Each structure stands twice: as structure tokens, then as C-alpha cells.
Amino acid sequence: MAVLDIQITNSSLAEIQGALGATIDEGSWISTSYLIAEIIVIPLSAFLSRAVGMKNYLLTNTAIFVLSSCLCALAQDLPSMITFRAFQGFSGGVLIPLAMQIILEKLPQSKQSIGLSIFGISATFAPAIGPSLGGWITENFGWEYIFYLNVAPGLLLIAVLGALLEESKSDWSLLKHGDWAGIITMAVGLGCLEAVLEEGNRKDWFGSDLMVRLTVIAVLALSLWLMIELRTKEPFIDLRLFFKRNFFFSSIVNLAVGAGLYGPQYSFSLYLSQIQGYNALQIGEVMMWFGIPQLFVMPLIPWLTERIDGRILIFVGLLMFLLGFAMDVSIDYYVAGPQLVLPLVVRAIGLPLIFVPLSAIAVEGIESARLGSASALYNMMRNLGGSFAIAGVSTLLTNREKFHSQIISDTVSIYTPIVRDRLELLTNAFVSKGFDISVAQQKAVAVIDTTIRREANLLAFGDSFYIFAVIMACGCIAVLCLKKSSGKAAVGMH
């Protein structure tokens, strides 16, 4: 539910903004506040769970997640909605890395591939069904119920954790002697970075003084964070894990996977709504084809990982992702939902081949005491990849649409016979409908202009899919740098 809530509001933002009296720019903070809080808490989760105790920390944050979800549904204005969404992100973000950490710490090695497969379904299937589920709930029940959806699973989780997860010792002294300089610089740096990535395109990037200031703060704070963590004897999160070859290159691949997972969700939703005129529910019915095949492939992964080198599975999965994007590069106006299903299915089959073996290779040989940091950093990289991709694709679509519009406009001249014939045909068509000749001529020109913009948009979307294919190719190169897995569990595990 925490992963699902990253995107479930996207298909319902118009309804939520209308109910709260917010503009489009103001309403964007409904998603941004959640993402900022989540990206900050993920690296903190291992440290805070040691201080408070794993069980207490999970129970508390699950309760806050359920409560803040209900408060989001009851919000009467934009400031309260943004505040409750931030609490929701801050508590929900805890669940993502700690779920993976529990799998790695509690399960014996023979069962870890099964555990990671189940975790993989939640981490990759949820983003795929988020838009469709959000759209369906909003269409049939109202936007409030996309938040009430968290209540039943949240209460179930509290009951299961309370009954089955053993008590763990708390160490409150960690809070007193904690690495607060590192925590503060990390929170400020990642928070400003996420705000720039989410709001940059709407604010004209560095044309906005606010974006410039936030970027400078992010660079300075993150630089200080790196220096502090690498010099401190007891850092709150162990960045030295990146010195391990497999963890470093696995994190690079995970960054690419995050980009390929979240970025296309955004661009496909825009394409289907702007070019094809689909509503939220129709978009969801198309995007669900990126989720359904995963349910059938994921159970096969433990069997495959026992028989095939994990690096080969990851490489094949990335190639399938690359192929899926390559199939969409030549997109045109006649490519709608049915024509997008095959590329979505190809990528959906490839994603499970990447997720489980990559997670296993990333944490192989890491000591038990460092697994919390490893899980937090690994999951943070995927979320950062998604944030970079969404920010990048929104800017790319804007700039490439302008570029292609200019190129097409230069070739569409009123002095060419084919354009004159088209304008005459359109003008006659409008005159036959009763319009005055001058009005008919204006409408004919408007149709030509709309067609140019539509074709420019299509070419821009094709460019975005080309970029995603290149990102997957970079991921393939990173896979070649991975050392072969020895098949050993993380040090100190069952």
C-alpha cells in the first residue's frame, strides 16, 4: 500500500484539486509532499528501527500510516491535505526497506528467493496498478476512498506484526549520541532535490529563483552528507557499502530500473490522455497489462534463480525492457491502448527477471548488522531513479515538442501546393457547415496548427521511449560489471 500510494492519487488529482479549491500547480504538492517525506525516511529507517526496536517502529508507523490516510480522505483544504500526505509518506516509506530487511534477516537462505519474489510483487506490481485502481475507485466511489483503501490492509498488518514478529531490543542511546549532523544534511539535501525534481518543469527549472536556491541547497547539503558519513565512525547509514563492487553496480541497475518503472507510467498516462483522449479508468485498463503478467512470472523466479546465473536473468530482463521501449519509439496517432499492450507485456515479463536476482546479488556477503543500511540505500536508489525519470521526461516532452513543432512548421508552407489544397479542402468543409468564408479559413488554419502540434507531440513521446531504451542499455552495461554470485547468504544470517 505504501508503494501504491506513490501514484494512486495521480489519476484523481483533478477531482481532489476541485474538491479542495486548488490550482494545478498547488495540487501537484499532494504528490510531491508524499515523495519528499518518503525519500527522507527510507535512509533513516534502519537507524530508527535500531533505536526504537523493529517491532515497535513498524507498529507505530503502520498506525500513523492508517491514521494519516483517513485524515487525507477527510481533508477540507489544501494545506491540511499536504500535511497529512507528508505524514503518510513519512510513515509509509518506513515499510518499504524494512520489509526487505526482515526478509533478508529472518528467512533462511533457501527461502530468500521466495521471500524476495513476494516482496517484488509488492514493489513492482503496485506502481503498475496504481493509476487503474485509483481511476476505478474515483469513478465509482469518489476520491476519498483511494485513501480509505489503506485501512483494512493496515489493520491486518498491525494484527500480524503484533502476533508474529518477535520483540526486538531498543537502544534509545542511539538517539542521544546519533549522527544528527548526517541526518539533518541528508534530510535537507534529499528533500530539496526531490522538490526540484518534482516541481522543476512546472517552475521553468533554473528560470525560477526558488528552483535555483533549492538546487544550491541540495548540492551543498548532499555534499556535506557524503563527507560526514564517510568520516564518522558510527554513521546512521553506511555509505561505505557503495565501495562493494556488486552493491554499487546493483544500485546503478536499480536506479535504471526505477527510471524504467516510474518514468514510462507518467509518459504513457500523458500520451493516452492528451493524444488519445482516454479518461483515468481507460488509462488504467491499458496500464494494467504491465501488472498482470508479473503475477504469473514472479512465482517462477525462485526456480529460475536456482538454475541460471542471476546476471544472465538480469541481463535478459533489461533487454526485454529495452525491446518494449524500442517497440514504442515509432509511435503514431493510430497507436492507442490495444497497440500498446504487447510492449507493456514484454516489459512486464522482463521486470521479475531483474528484481529478485538483482536484490540477491546486491546484498550477498553483506554482514547482518549492515543489512538495514543496504536495504535502505538499495530501495532509495530505485525511488530516486523514478524521480529523475519523471522530472526528465516531463522536461524532454516539453522541449522536444517545441523542437519538432519548429521543424514541421518550417516545412509546412502556405506556398506549397499540398498545403494550399488541404486548406482549401478544409475551408470548403467548414463553409458547407454554414460558416462565413473568413471564419472557415481561420478554422482551417487552426486544424493545420493542431495537426502540427499533435505530430510534434507524437515525435516527442517517441523520443522519450528512445531515451528509456538507452537507459536500459546503460543498465545492461552495469550488469556486465557484476561479479558472479557465490550463492552464499549475507554474513550472519540463518
Q: Between the CA atoms of 133, 139, 140 and 142, what dihedral angle is there, to the nearest 10 degrees?
A: 90
| Angle in degrees, CA 351, 355, 361, rounded to 5 | 145
pLDDT at 131 over 90: no
Three cell numbers at 122? 509488492
Distance CA 443, CA 449 (A): 10
Beta-carbon contacts of residue 112 (< 8 Å; ≥ 6 apart): 103, 104, 360, 489
pLDDT score recorded for residue 11:
65
The SS3 call for residue 99 is helix
Quote the pTM value.
0.82
Three cell numbers at 119? 516482496
Q: Tell me the pLDDT tens digit for each residue of 367-379.
A: 888 888 888 899 8
- Residue 488: pLDDT band (50, 70, 90) is low
Burial code of 197-229, b = ≥16 C-beta within 10 A, e = fewer? Answer: bbbbbebeeeebeebeebbebbeebbebbeebb
Average confidence (pLDDT) over 183-212: 84
Which option is the CATH number for 1-178: 1.10.3720.10, 1.20.1250.20, 3.40.50.300, 3.30.700.30?
Answer: 1.20.1250.20
Q: Tell me the pLDDT tens digit for each residue of 269-312.
A: 778 877 888 877 777 778 788 888 888 888 888 888 888 888 99
Q: Tell me the pLDDT tens digit for each residue of 224-249.
A: 999 988 888 888 888 889 999 999 99
Q: Tell me the pLDDT tens digit for each residue of 12-60.
A: 766 787 788 877 666 667 777 888 888 888 888 888 888 888 899 999 9
pLDDT score recorded for residue 435:
79
pLDDT at 430 over 90: no
* Max Cα distance, the chain (Å): 83
Average confidence (pLDDT) over 176-204: 84
CATH fold of 238-494 reads Growth Hormone; Chain: A; (1.20.1250)
**Cβ–Cβ < 8 Å for 380, 43:** yes
Please check whether the two domains, 1-178 and 238-494, share a CATH topology.
Answer: yes
The SS3 call for residue 208 is coil
Burial code of 154-184, b = ≥16 C-beta within 10 A, e = fewer? Answer: beebbeebeeeeeeeebeeebeeebbeebbe
pLDDT score recorded for residue 494:
37
Which parts of 412-436 fold into alpha helices (H)? 417-432
Average confidence (pLDDT) over 416-427: 80
Q: Where are the domains of the chain?
A: 1-178, 179-235, 238-494
pLDDT at 151 over 80: yes
